[in-house]
Amino acid sequence: MTMILILIGAFITGAFGYFVANTKGRDGKEGFVLGFLFSLFGVLIEALLPTMETTPVQKPVTRPVVARPVTAQSSILGLGQSRQGTKGGSASILGLASRNEHEHGSR
């Protein structure tokens, strides 16, 4: 029974050491270990340690993705233009006329 009370007290002072360490900008695990192992002396040691200065983390600069505007290169690729001699439809828009239409002309 005495051992259980000692462990409960160790966990309580460990939690208190964790809280003190976090408020001082230090690692909470360090405060827990000191409080757990050395009881109130560990918490006192953690309270007397210097406060750590935290530097703000800079987020990387991200640029938004912007679609490219339509340029004259789209006409070079033949997109959006129908070839002469084709019957129209999606094949002519994409410039994909069948081989027979090119060899024999449009009917």
**Domain segments of the chain: what residues?**
2-48, 78-104
The confidence score (pLDDT) of residue 74 equals: 56
Tokens matching residue 65: 């993705």
The confidence score (pLDDT) of residue 61 equals: 77
- How much is the pTM? 0.50
**What average pLDDT values come out for the chain (107 residues) when binned by 10 residues?**
94 96 93 95 94 78 72 58 51 52 52
